[in-house]
Amino acid sequence: MMNKRSIIFGLLGFALFTNVHGQEKLVEISGRIKGIGNREIRVLDPEKGEIKRFNATQDNFKIEVPLHTNDQRFFTLHLPSLGDMGPSMKTPALFFMVDDDPINIQAHIEEGSVETDTIIGANDFNAFNSTYKQLKSTGELMLVTAEYNKAFNAYNNVAQTEENLEALKAVGDKIEAIYTDQRKEITELIASNPKSLTVATLARQYTAPEMTPDAISTFLSQFDKGVIAQSFYLKELQNKLAKVSQLEVGQQAPDFTIKGVDQKAIKLSDFKGKYVLLDFWASWCGPCRREMPHVKAAYEQFKGNNFQVFAVSIDSDATAWKKELEEDNMPFVHALDVKGKQSVGDLYMVRAIPTNFLIDSTGKIIAKNLRGEELSKFLESRL
């Protein structure tokens, strides 16, 4: 079910586990979450991940925790009893910013999701919400949400007819059109407020650029340099600009070490002298599995010509990964990525799968995201 809270939850979710440093201050956070009882609450920082866990006492809580107060970042109170962080129909977390003052959070649990009632003391957060609510597109999204929920329920819970499916698609198209208008609206807001930290945060959340050097540079050029220096999310983009530039065609592929199926270490540079398709996938990924026959065909055709496939799975379930390897008979090099500071997916900025990089015998990236027969055709022109 798409609704306002799930839309915001999904958009904010990308902010977790980035790496931009700054100074911290001990901040008092208190409040009441009606319905949480004595269950666990976790505090998440967008830079460090989880930084504190504690239990409420009869819905109430009061803690002190070191937080960044000067770069307008979103922190998270996660209620793990409501579900994991990540895309979800439910909202198991609430978001907040902090200033120098203590903050008080009042919220409640409704239909398995946590809903924020008020946050007192978080002036930056309240300014952000106020600016967002003033957008014309925000009001339009709120109105169309009820229409979407009705169409979603009709198709999924009443009857999966062609008529109900078309109605659901029509509302989905309407929402996409509103998002397009929203991006234009926020871009105009940036033009008239290039020095506003609140507008910078809003823009990063709702008009995030594609992860290409040109798109990131164009996005950052809209803002005053002082705001970029002050904003957690714009500094994050600056860091990503440097990183994504290293992954462009013509650049040397970043080396890494990862454990293979037999738990022995494998380095990308071990394959120097060969053409390598570095392929990110997962056993649960439908598009990946549909693409795999093309990858296997290219491997069989060119394996005698110094070509290798290095398939890196982002599966969180090692058993499911190994089962897929056995059932689909993929006779090339495999490894399982492990989330954390040494994640290969993070090193290669993998945001969707399948994603692949074709690397030549010198270790240089020569193509990206070759799909279907494109892979074999490209290799045929090189090998």
Per-residue 3-state assignment (H helix, E strand, C coil) for the chain: CCCHHHHHHHHHHCCCCCCCCCCEEEEEEEEEEECCCCCEEEEEECCCEEEEEEECECCEEEEEEEEECCCCCCEEEECHHHCCCCCCCCCCEEEECCCCCCEEEEEEEECCEEEEEEEECCHHHHHHHHHHHHCHHHHHHHHHHHHHHHHHHHHHHHCCCHHHHHHHHHHHHHHHHHHHHHHHHHHHHHHHCCCCHHHHHHHHHHCCCCCCHHHHHHHHCCCCHHHHHHCHHHHHHHHHHHHHHCCCCCCECCCCEEEECCCCEEEHHHHCCCEEEEEEECCCCHHHHHHHHHHHHHHHHHHHHCEEEEEEECCCCHHHHHHHHHHHCCCCEEEECCCCCCCHHHHCCCCCCCEEEEECCCCEEEEECCCCCHHHHHHHHHC
Please report the pLDDT score of residue 99 as a whole number: 87
pTM of the predicted protein model: 0.72
Catalytic residue list = 288
Please report the pLDDT score of residue 184 as a whole number: 95
Digits of tens for pLDDT over the chain (383 positions)? 333 333 333 333 333 333 444 578 999 999 999 999 999 999 999 988 899 999 999 999 999 999 988 888 999 999 999 998 876 667 899 999 998 889 999 999 999 999 999 999 989 999 999 999 999 999 999 999 889 889 988 998 899 999 999 999 999 999 999 999 999 999 999 999 999 999 999 999 999 898 889 999 999 999 999 999 999 999 999 998 988 989 999 999 999 999 999 999 999 999 999 999 999 999 999 899 899 999 999 999 999 899 999 999 999 889 999 999 988 888 999 999 987 657 899 899 898 899 999 999 999 999 999 999 999 999 999 88
Please report the pLDDT score of residue 87 as a whole number: 62
Please report the pLDDT score of residue 4 as a whole number: 36
